[in-house]
Amino acid sequence: MANVEYLFASKREQTKLANRLAILDAAREVFGEIGFEAATVRDIVRRSGLSVGAFYNYYRSKEEVFEALADDGARRFRPILEAQSAKARDFESYLRAAVGAYFDFVAGEHAAWLAKSKDAGMLSQARGTPEILAVFDEVRRVFADVMARDLSGGVDIEFLAASCIAVAREIGDRMVERTPLDTGAATDFVVNLIMGGVPNLPRMKG
Amino acid sequence: MANVEYLFASKREQTKLANRLAILDAAREVFGEIGFEAATVRDIVRRSGLSVGAFYNYYRSKEEVFEALADDGARRFRPILEAQSAKARDFESYLRAAVGAYFDFVAGEHAAWLAKSKDAGMLSQARGTPEILAVFDEVRRVFADVMARDLSGGVDIEFLAASCIAVAREIGDRMVERTPLDTGAATDFVVNLIMGGVPNLPRMKG
Amino acid sequence: MANVEYLFASKREQTKLANRLAILDAAREVFGEIGFEAATVRDIVRRSGLSVGAFYNYYRSKEEVFEALADDGARRFRPILEAQSAKARDFESYLRAAVGAYFDFVAGEHAAWLAKSKDAGMLSQARGTPEILAVFDEVRRVFADVMARDLSGGVDIEFLAASCIAVAREIGDRMVERTPLDTGAATDFVVNLIMGGVPNLPRMKG
Amino acid sequence: MANVEYLFASKREQTKLANRLAILDAAREVFGEIGFEAATVRDIVRRSGLSVGAFYNYYRSKEEVFEALADDGARRFRPILEAQSAKARDFESYLRAAVGAYFDFVAGEHAAWLAKSKDAGMLSQARGTPEILAVFDEVRRVFADVMARDLSGGVDIEFLAASCIAVAREIGDRMVERTPLDTGAATDFVVNLIMGGVPNLPRMKG
DNA sequence: AATGAATGAGTGTTCATTCAT
DNA sequence: CATGAATGAACACTCATTCAT
């Protein structure tokens, strides 16, 4: 009897987890396809295969789902970032680590999304995804920290951080649209631009 | 009789113009504060002080107001851009012209907005404004043209253009938050960063 | 001076009449084309070339215009009906007179309408026109009177009157759709059907 | 468990059915009273006692409700018509069958309506009801078929069919206003009129 | 009188959220 | 817990009517 109840409870836990994931997956897709503003709870519910009521058992609103996705993204990103930052010692290597980690994450998200939506003719994706947004904030913080620490006198750190972030974001978006997806090249581009400007940019062959 | 008619028409025309402006002003604020998607016709109407019906006497939809604002912005921007581009001959000077024009426009908009909203505790502004968006597209086009024309082989023009635009936009947003508002410094920052990277950045005193 | 004023007033009267007619004409067309329910005051105003305000100077509502058209129709119909009824002495001749008058009126209206809308690809017309409706009521009254007077005992006068009217209306509608428009044949059909049923119907050649 | 689920589903299904009927009933009344054009979704909703949202859970628009009512009427009418037509062999018997079936249907609808609206001081009813309209179209088709098949040369079939239909409709409307409601008498009247005209009409006693 | 812009109640419809089952 | 129908506020938009000019 105890066993039965235990298993029952376990089954319940499993279901709860599965539902939670179903909602998150559905929401990620919907947000990616039509954007957070345009997305309705009904869109998410429809896609998740659950009932409206179930949705509200797990999340109180569209916003809460958004945050859950964002948190999830940030949580998954942190180890990537730490791995890349491990042996960075100067500004350039930190920059490379952060940008590289960001691009790796974006590429991973994009691949997951490609794998899932094999057939459907989809729309924008990527930019608006809550995970990317959250990860982006993470990168922003890192940049600011690194610059405040490693960059000696006189340069406008707020402006520089903002610029780096903007470039990373923009190039990240462009990168996933290209085939083959080359995070290395993208990282090189960003780092070289920031470190040496146009004359320093990598030259493409052909 | 002629006088009467003249005054008659005149008063009416004045009111119409005032209403049109009231709608545009209200819409600009609303779009700037909560974004185009989230904004409702009723938000604009409420803010403008007019009635729903009046709104539809002037514009057929939210979209049409947006476009009116965007067109207006683009139209006002063009002379500024042309003035700055007049004697530009190489990539750097074009870049400086475009970025400078953009920053001048943004600064102008921001000043107008400051003058108007003396009291109200406002939100984001600027970024989402249809005018800025439209002007931004203009700048984007210019960048792409200039790079395609002036930049010799091998650099990734799409990436570079995207980066320049992203930086310009980001710095533009940051610039208007600072006091005193210094478009020259902002322009220098952007151009120096793009042309020579971090080592090339202007040093701040103090 | 008196002369001037007189002419001025006269001109005013003329204008007033012209406006009234413009509204009625416009309304007739609009009602005929899209029906009374669907028609809006704005439709009528637009078609009449007058201003909204002017419309309300002459009529208080769509309904009032409808009634004006109906009255006008009834007024124009009465002499036609009287002419045809002049020498009728028995039920059949009264029936023929009333139906004939009705068909003549309908044919006249249809011709006027054809002449006006030379080019535009129009819709239904006829049935819904306020004039026809009003004239129809006139015919209804005549039928009821004649039957009450001329038909000796036992037949269900209410049913018979209703039937005659229904047939007249239906055939009137069909008649104007045919080319050439033949009021005589239509009248014969109705009268023969009512007086003798199917066996009594006129035979068509060919 | 099974029981619970069964009852659960059952209760829900019952409510859904009841609501669907409430909407249809309300719509029938509203359409009957003020006509399809003038009727608004809110009128129907108000009368049904449900909420606006509930209406849209069941039907996508006013049009859809109308069609549902019309389909229902046509579906209920068909067996009546078929029963009456079963042994008809010539024009007169077909005419009698169709008219009789139509009158039976109209009488049934009227009875149902009387039973329901015991107290409310209602308006026109019947004529505009989607069911009656739909059934009427059915009758129209039958008439046209029968005449095209059974009526030998020369008579104007279009005019005749239109006349029969018009008479049937008109007498149907009048019939339900009389007490006692006598479909047999009404049918006799119509058939006799069509087959032999005024001289052939049944004589009333008294 | 004539004008046509202003008004706001009213339309069809959607949607987040609740809650009986 | 899951379900999905019910709710009603909100939306974009229309229109009869008024009224300053």
For the segment D154-198, what is each residue's pLDDT rounded down to a tens digit?
899 999 999 999 999 999 999 999 999 999 999 999 999 999 999
Residue-by-residue pLDDT tens, chain A, 206 positions: 455 555 556 777 888 899 999 999 999 999 988 889 899 999 999 999 999 999 999 999 999 999 999 999 999 999 999 998 888 888 999 999 999 999 999 999 999 888 876 655 555 554 668 898 899 889 988 888 888 888 877 899 999 999 999 999 999 999 999 999 999 999 999 999 999 999 999 987 65
Per-residue buried b or exposed e for B61-100, using 16+ beta carbons within 10 Å of the residue's own CB: ebeebbebbbeebbeebeebbeebbeebeebbbbbbbbbb
Domain ranges, residue A161: 69-196
Residues C98 and C28 in one domain: no
Q: Could you give the CA distance from residue B72 to residue B171 in angstroms, rounded to a whole number?
A: 23
Residue D205: pLDDT band (50, 70, 90) is: low
- Which of the nucleotides lies closest to C52 (Cα–C1')? E4
Q: Could you give the CA distance from residue C192 to residue C186 in angstroms, rounded to a whole number?
A: 10
pLDDT top residue among C112 and D5: C112
Name the 3-class secondary structure at D146. helix
Read off the amino acid at residue A196: G
The alpha helices in chain A, defined as continuous H runs, are: 2-34, 41-48, 52-58, 62-85, 91-116, 130-150, 157-175, 183-196
Q: What DSSP state is assigned to residue D116?
A: H
Question: Does residue A9 approach strand F to less than 7 Å at its CB?
Answer: no
Using a CB-CB cut-off of 8 Å, the residues of chain C touching D160 are 193, 198, 201
Using alpha carbons, select from C82, C127, C86 the residue that is nearest to residue C109: C127
pLDDT at C1: 47
Q: What DSSP state is assigned to residue B199?
A: G
The two tokens of residue D189 are 């009247």
The two tokens of residue B121 are 């505790």
Torsion of the alpha carbons at B9, B15, B18 and B23, rounded to the nearest 10: -120
pLDDT at A154: 84
The answer to whether B124 touches B33, Cβ cutoff 8 Å, is yes
Final residue belonging to a domain, choices A32, A59, A86: A59
Helix axes A62-85, A91-116, angle to 10 degrees: 130
CA of D134 to C1' of F10 (A): 37
Sign of CA dihedral C9, C11, C16, C20: positive
Is position C64 within any domain? no
Q: State whether residue D163 sits within 8 Å of chain C by CB.
A: yes
Using a CB-CB cut-off of 8 Å, the residues of chain B touching A139 are none
Q: Could you give the CA distance from residue A36 to residue A39 in angstroms, rounded to a whole number?
A: 5
The two tokens of residue A37 are 């503003």
Is position A203 within any domain? no
Torsion of the alpha carbons at A178, A181, A185 and A190, rounded to the nearest 10: 70
Residues B133 and B193 in one domain: yes
Is position A204 within any domain? no
pLDDT at B203: 86
C-alpha distances out from residue D192 to A43, B94, C155, D68, Å: 63, 96, 11, 35
Interface A:B, Cβ pairs < 8 A: 106
- Least Cα separation, residue A152 to chain B (angstroms): 10
Is position A83 within any domain? yes
Q: Could you give the CA distance from residue A195 to residue A94 in angstroms, rounded to a whole number?
A: 12
Q: Could you give the CA distance from residue C164 to residue C143 in angstroms, rounded to a whole number?
A: 8
Is position A201 within any domain? no
Is position B205 within any domain? no
pLDDT top residue among B105 and A1: B105
Q: What is the CATH number of the domain that holds C140?
A: 1.10.357.10
Question: Does residue D57 approach strand F to less than 7 Å at its CB?
Answer: yes
Mean pLDDT of chain B: 88
Residues C134 and C93 in one domain: yes
Per-residue buried b or exposed e for C66-79, using 16+ beta carbons within 10 Å of the residue's own CB: bebbbeebbeebee
Residues B23 and B72 in one domain: no
Report the domain count for chain D. 2
Q: What percent of chain B has pLDDT over 90?
A: 66
pLDDT at A152: 73
Residues B39 and B110 in one domain: no
Residues A55 and A77 in one domain: no
Chains near D (3 or more Cβ pairs under 8 Å): C
Residues 95-154 of B with CB under 8 A from A: 151, 153-154
Residues A87 and A43 in one domain: no
Q: What percent of chain C has pLDDT over 70?
A: 89
Q: Could you give the CA distance from residue A140 to residue A187 in angstroms, rounded to a whole number?
A: 16
Whether residue D197 and residue C197 make contact (CB cut-off 8 A), yes or no, is yes
Residues A29 and A94 in one domain: no
Q: Could you give the CA distance from residue D76 to residue D97 in angstroms, rounded to a whole number?
A: 16
Residues B75 and B42 in one domain: no
Read off the amino acid at residue B75: R
Q: Count the helix, strand and coil residues of chain B and give each as a percent rounded to the nearest 5.
A: 75, 0, 25
What average pLDDT score do residues B177-191 get?
96
Residues A54 and A116 in one domain: no
Q: C37 exposed, middle or buried (CB, 10 Å; 0-12, 13-18, 19+)? A: middle
- Which of the nucleotides lies closest to B7 (Cα–C1')? F21
Q: What is the CATH number of the domain that holds D105?
A: 1.10.357
Q: What is the CA radius of gyration of chain D?
A: 20
Checking if the pLDDT of D101 tops 50, the result is: yes
Is position A36 within any domain? yes
Using a CB-CB cut-off of 8 Å, the residues of chain B touching A197 are 192-197, 200
Residue C21: pLDDT band (50, 70, 90) is: very high
Is position D64 within any domain? no
Final residue belonging to a domain, choices A40, A59, A78: A59
